[in-house]
Amino acid sequence: MEIIRKLQDMQSRAVDMHQQGKTIAFVPTMGFLHKGHLSLMREGRKRGDILVVSIFVNPAQFGPNEDFDKYPKSFEQDADAAKKEGVDILFNPCKEELYPERYQTYVNVEKLQNYLCGVSRPLHFRGVATVVTKLFNIVKADAAIFGEKDYQQLVVIRQMALDLNLDIEIKGCPIVREPDGVAMSSRNSYLSEKDRKSAVCLYQALNEAKKLVKEGVKKSSEIIMTASALIRSYPGTEIDYISIFDPETLEEIESVEELSRMAMAVRLGETRLIDNILIDPRKKGSRA
């Protein structure tokens, strides 16, 4: 596995690979890799001749009171894990190259960034769209793979690629969960023992919502009220939002009549966790 840190070196390698007729699959990450990331790499391995994984903690997507300075890092372990998954290039750029002095250009996906997580994190998706656009241009990927845990991020990036006429396939992959159902996340490492026990409430609330729809409950407010009560029954929880929405527009819906998504953000102590589930009222059950 090759480790590249310079933007120009990565661009040159990408041009060389395309000239050789090879396709590039790309998995952007912020590092501190877990099994969810590794599942994206396995999907990427199927979608290109060359697999590139980036590790970059993007300052542009963190608000002033968020966890940029303490975001967990483990480059040596990450490099070892990536190598074992057959990654060809590990791209680890530095902040000073991606955001040099006097940097001033940002990408806004005007509507989609204002729902769900975008309400309490107003600059987050501007930062995500900007860094992903830059990475796409540097890596010159033919396909990019993202996890569905960050569902709004996936929708934002798909829209951005469409609107900017980017010649790249955006692939979403299912959420990977711990044995108790908690969605895998680098931020799980922040949780105290007590908060980790309470973290199961997100998945339990989503499954309860799915159960209600299966039993014929359609009114979103009723489903959200039940989910909220379940979450609040666990100690140390604070709900940021719970929403049932159209999977493409992210606009909230009053009644679950068609294929829908339910997503939530919940704080446990100082840690903010997100999760979501697909709800299909036309079927007897829906999968996470």
pLDDT at position 151 is 98
Q: Which residues pair with 265 in a beta bridge?
A: 241, 274
Would strands 260-268 and 237-245 be described as parallel, antiparallel, or unpaired?
antiparallel
Lowest mean pLDDT among 20-24, 230-234, 279-283: 279-283
Sheet strand arrangement including 237-245: 237-245, 260-268, 271-279
Sign of the dihedral defined by the CA atoms of residues 75, 2, 88, 55, in that order: positive
Q: Where are the beta strands (DSSP E) in 58-216?
A: 89-91, 143-147, 169-173
What pLDDT was estimated at residue 287?
Answer: 45
What pLDDT sits at residue 65?
Answer: 87
Q: Catalytic site residue 37?
A: yes
Work out the average pLDDT over 104-133.
97
pLDDT for 227: 98
Q: For residue 205, what pLDDT is reported?
A: 98
pLDDT digits over 139-191, tens only? 999 999 999 999 999 999 999 999 999 999 999 999 999 999 999 999 999 99
Q: 9-56 pLDDT, tens per residue?
A: 999 999 999 999 999 999 999 999 999 999 999 999 999 999 999 999
Q: Taking residues 221-246, what's their average pLDDT?
A: 98
> If phi over 0 gives left and psi between -120 and 50 gives alpha, with beta otherwise, what is residue 228?
alpha
Distances, alpha carbon 284 to alpha carbons 130, 179, 180, 217, 287, in Å? 40, 24, 23, 13, 10
Q: So what's the pLDDT on residue 284?
A: 59
Q: What percent of the chain has pLDDT over 90?
A: 97
- SS3 of 241, please? strand
Dist. CA 217–CA 215, nearest whole Å: 6
Judged against a pLDDT cut of 60, whether residue 288 lies above it is answered with no
Q: Which residues contact 195 (CB under 8 A, 6 or more apart)?
A: 236, 268, 269, 271
What is the average pLDDT score of the chain?
96
Is residue 227 within 8 Å of 208, Cβ to Cβ? yes
pTM score, whole prediction? 0.96
Distance CA 187, CA 36 (A): 13
Q: What is the pLDDT of residue 72?
A: 95
Backbone angles phi, psi at 268, to 5 degrees: -125, 105
* C-beta separation of 14 from 138 below 8 A: yes
> Which of these is catalytic: 18, 34, 37, 124?
37
